[in-house]
Structure 1
Amino acid sequence: MKIDTHESIERSLCGEPIKIEKGCSEVRLECTENMAADSSGLIHGGFIFGLADYAAMLAVNHPNVVLGSAKTRFLSPSRIGDVLTAKAKDTTPEEHKHLVQVEVFCNEEKVFTGSFTCIVTKKHILS
């Protein structure tokens, strides 16, 4: 399926799409040294949130989709070298408002979960 949103996103920081279907997506992110929050190798949560947000946007896959709100939970820390996979599913596909459930895994372990409210505007939000 063609990607119709977030065409300029930096994939090394937000993830590489590995599956795009109507109403769902999967995105893979390798946790690298430049994402570390401290010398222990802990990955800053903002990168994990960015991965999940990007997966939610791809599940909706509309040029004008933006994030309205998110309720998230970090379940386990991530480290340099971890490979994360975000799986997103649009549970309420409506014309303008979408509730997208996202889970992020490191191997089989769920490390993050979130509900993302995505809004499709009539025109680009900066227009």
Structure 2
Amino acid sequence: MQQRLNKQERQEKLKAVIRDNPFVTDEELAEHFSVSIQTIRLDRLELDIPELRTRMVQVAERVHQKVRSMVAHEMVGELVELQLGKFATSILQVTREMVTQKSGICRADYLFAQANSLAAAIIDAEVVLTGSARLRFRRPVHLHEKIKAYAFLARKKINKYLIKVVSSVDSEEVFVGKFIFVAQQEGK
């Protein structure tokens, strides 16, 4: 929260905030700049900045071009950052289809699938197989929460990769996984 800025200052800062975090919502921006959501939408329109969903798709398309081990529709969550052989980040919005009807808690297979596909995306190989996984679920994830998963290569030995994934909701850790992947040589 900051003091009110004039329109030109607000629009300059708005561009910078969205450039740094293309996944920020209009609601979060309105709160940050102490203005209405409609004001943020008008500012975005004037600045030719697309809405959140379009920004997410643009980032995902740019990042997905780097992935070798899977095609875009196999990825669980929106891939937002990828440095092959180093790290990757994805975001998964929890929807009604992902939660149990009784409790409204996200099913564990979605957290695993997001982490597993993100970890596989890091590996610079055509075919990668999950060898083993050690998982820790820290707390339940609820409907409408946004899961941000960060994966990084911890170790590589010949064709085996140890990848660690940490998933969080609003910077609170909800899942940790250590995955061992095996990269198959082409033609085998």
Task: Tell me which residue corresponds to 2:93.
Answer: 30
Match of 1:21 among 83, 100, 106: 83
Check whether the contact 1:65–1:120 (CA below 8 A) recurs between aligned residues. yes
Higher relative contact order (CA 8 A, sep 6+): 1
Cα deviations across residues 25-78 of structure 1 (Å, max 9, x unaligned)?
001101100011233211100000001101111121422111110000000000
Task: Tell me which residue corresponds to 1:106.
Answer: 169
Task: Tell me which residue corresponds to 1:5.
Answer: 69
Work out the number of aligned pairs and report it: 123
Distance in 2 separating the partners of 1:102 and 1:24:
9
Residue correspondence of structure 1 range 1-127 to structure 2 within 5 A: 2-11=66-75, 14-22=76-84, 23-123=86-186
- Quote the RMSD (CA, aligned, Å): 1.6
AA in 2 matched with 1:91: A
AA in 2 matched with 1:85: K
Structure 2: runs of 5+ lacking an equivalent: 1-62
| Higher helix fraction (1 or 2) | 2
Query: TM-score, normalised on structure 1?
Result: 0.89
Query: TM-score, normalised on structure 2?
Result: 0.61
Q: Which runs of 4+ in 1 moved over 6 A?
A: none
Q: Which has the larger radius of gyration?
A: 2
Q: Secondary structure at the match of 2:104?
A: coil
Check whether the contact 2:67–2:122 (CA below 8 A) recurs between aligned residues. no
Q: Secondary structure at the match of 1:28?
A: strand
| Higher strand fraction (1 or 2) | 1
Superposition deviation, residue 115 in structure 1 = 0.5
Cα deviations across residues 69-108 of structure 1 (Å, max 9, x unaligned)?
0000000000110100110011112331000010001111
Check whether the contact 1:104–1:113 (CA below 8 A) recurs between aligned residues. yes
Alpha carbons of structure 1 residues 17 and 61: separation in structure 2 relative to 1, 3 Å: farther
Superposition deviation, residue 8 in structure 1 = 4.8
